[in-house]
Chains A and B, each alone.
Chain A
Amino acid sequence: QVQLQESGPGLVKPSETLSLTCAVSGYSISSGYYWGWIRQPPGKGLEWIGSIYHSGSTYYNPSLKSRVTISVDTSKNQFSLKLSSVTAADTAVYYCARLDVEMARPFDYWGQGTLVTVSS
């Protein structure tokens, strides 16, 4: 059974960098698939942040591209998100998920999500 678990600080100061890690168990990242980050501001809808292929190729939401870096560490079977210059608008629940490479590319496995609040 594939499982994903987000971790990282729950509180980040404005203008600083948000950093989260997603630990994957039950599947080896290096075996394939895309891996992605999605966020959801309180009471609002889902927003895709970006995805990374097991080879390390990255794809970002154009609206966030200038501030986002996603990386993968196959030795630890985890991938990470960095979002720079955060503001209150970046307060959200952040989810990591696996993106199936088959047609339609759905997110088939999700982490439970972690709330990150941007506040001084």
Chain B
Amino acid sequence: DIQMTQSPSSLSASVGDRVTITCRASQSISSYLNWYQQKPGKAPKLLIYAASSLQSGVPSRFSGSGSGTDFTLTISSLQPEDFATYYCQQSYSTPPEITFGQGTRLEIK
């Protein structure tokens, strides 16, 4: 099975900062990589799908890149509402067997 490793596990940043979160797959997954934001007590929210496509309604300060095994989520200018936990997710195989990264907690500095 495919393992997903996110780094860092936690991150402190300030409003206005540029932040990058990394996700690495244990084998190539092409662009079958999605990113989610989760706030306490809420369901995850899809931000980026297929590595770099912005989900409808998601602010353009969020962007994704990468293919193969290495992927990044970038927030260009942190806003107060962006402090949350972020997860990557792969579903490369057919039929789909899905795995999530362990999460990255983004905290206010």
What is A's interface to B at a CB cutoff of 8 Å?
Answer: 34, 36, 45-48, 51, 57, 59, 61-62, 95, 97, 99-100, 102-108, 110-113
A105 close to B97 (CB less than 8 A): no
Choice from B44, B51, B100, B103 contacting A104 with Cβ under 8 Å = B51
Residues in chain B near residue A112, CB distance under 8 A: 42-43
Choice from B32, B42, B95, B102 contacting A103 with Cβ under 8 Å = B32
Residues in chain B near residue A111, CB distance under 8 A: 43
The residue on A at minimum CB distance from B38 is A46
A104 close to B97 (CB less than 8 A): no
Cα(A61)–Cα(B1), bound, Å: 10
Cα(A104)–Cα(B34), bound, Å: 7
7 closest residue pairs by CB, A with B: A104-B50, A110-B43, A106-B34, A105-B91, A48-B98, A106-B49, A46-B100
B43 close to A59 (CB less than 8 A): no
B95 close to A105 (CB less than 8 A): no
- Distance (Å) between the CB of A25 and the closest chain B CB? 16
Question: B83 an interface residue at 8 Å Cβ cutoff?
Answer: no
The residue on A at minimum CB distance from B91 is A105
Question: B63 an interface residue at 8 Å Cβ cutoff?
Answer: no
Residues in chain B near residue A100, CB distance under 8 A: 49
B89 close to A106 (CB less than 8 A): yes
Decide: A46 near B87, CB < 8 A? Known: A104-B49, A104-B50, A105-B32. Answer: yes
Choice from A51, A62, A95, A106 contacting B46 with Cβ under 8 Å = A106
Cα(A46)–Cα(B102), bound, Å: 7
Question: B55 an interface residue at 8 Å Cβ cutoff?
Answer: yes
- Distance (Å) between the CB of A43 and the closest chain B CB? 10
A103 close to B46 (CB less than 8 A): no
Question: B33 an interface residue at 8 Å Cβ cutoff?
Answer: yes
B50 close to A107 (CB less than 8 A): no
B98 close to A51 (CB less than 8 A): yes
